[in-house]
């Protein structure tokens, strides 16, 4: 019974529910119409919400991690291109320099949609290059095998089925 009277006293006091009291989330009880309108506008403001999302440190770490993983994968795939171009430079070096320039150009990009699009397109292009390279290499080895067999000599490498993963 004493608890009920103390709750009634609290409700009727000036510190009670008649005065606007903020909760931990910033919403207040007994707020005026202007406060409610401001809260609704803040909730509906998509640019403020997007700005809060963009500043998330975990999101930045994720895109940086993905970009670094893509750059490392490009570096590994480019090691397969060990023949010179028409200027005498190794294709490996040309591809690595081109990748570096692309990453440096995209370094200052702040829009997360564009950054994600660049990462997806870059990864897709890298996978296409790797697949084309492996298909061409497999075809060259099969042609070489056919030439060896036509000459009556055994192939210098295992059958092409053993190259597949």
**Distance between CA 149 and CA 129 in Å, rounded?**
30
pLDDT digits (tens, 9 = 90+) for 93-105: 999 999 999 999 9
- Percentage of the chain beyond pLDDT 70 is 60
R_g of the chain, CA atoms, integer Å: 32
pLDDT at 152: 80
Contact of 126 with 77, CB cutoff 8 Å: yes
pLDDT digits (tens, 9 = 90+) for 8-42: 555 555 444 444 445 445 555 566 777 767 767 77
Does 125 score more than 50 pLDDT?
yes
User: Residue 60: how many CA atoms within 13 Å on its side-chain side?
Assistant: 11
The predicted model gives 64-75 an average pLDDT of 92
- Residue for token pair 């790797």: 130
pLDDT digits (tens, 9 = 90+) for 136-159: 989 999 998 888 888 887 766 665
């Amino acid at each position: 019974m004493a608890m009920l009277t103390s709750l009634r006293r609290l409700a009727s006091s000036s510190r009670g529910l008649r005065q606007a009291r903020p909760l931990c989330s910033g919403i207040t009880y007994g707020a005026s119409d202007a406060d409610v309108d401001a809260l609704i506008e803040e909730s509906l403001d998509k640019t403020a919400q997007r700005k809060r999302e963009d500043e998330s440190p975990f999101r930045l770490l994720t895109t940086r991690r993905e970009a670094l993983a893509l750059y490392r994968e490009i570096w590994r795939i480019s090691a397969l291109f060990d023949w010179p171009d028409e200027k005498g430079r190794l294709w490996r070096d040309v591809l690595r320099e081109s990748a570096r320039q692309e990453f440096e150009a995209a370094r200052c990009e702040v829009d997360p949609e564009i950054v994600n699009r660049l990462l997806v397109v870059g990864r897709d292009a890298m996978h296409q290059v790797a697949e084309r390279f492996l298909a061409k290499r497999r075809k060259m080895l099969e042609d070489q095998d056919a030439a060896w067999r036509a000459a009556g000599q055994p192939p210098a490498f295992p059958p092409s089925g053993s190259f597949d993963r």
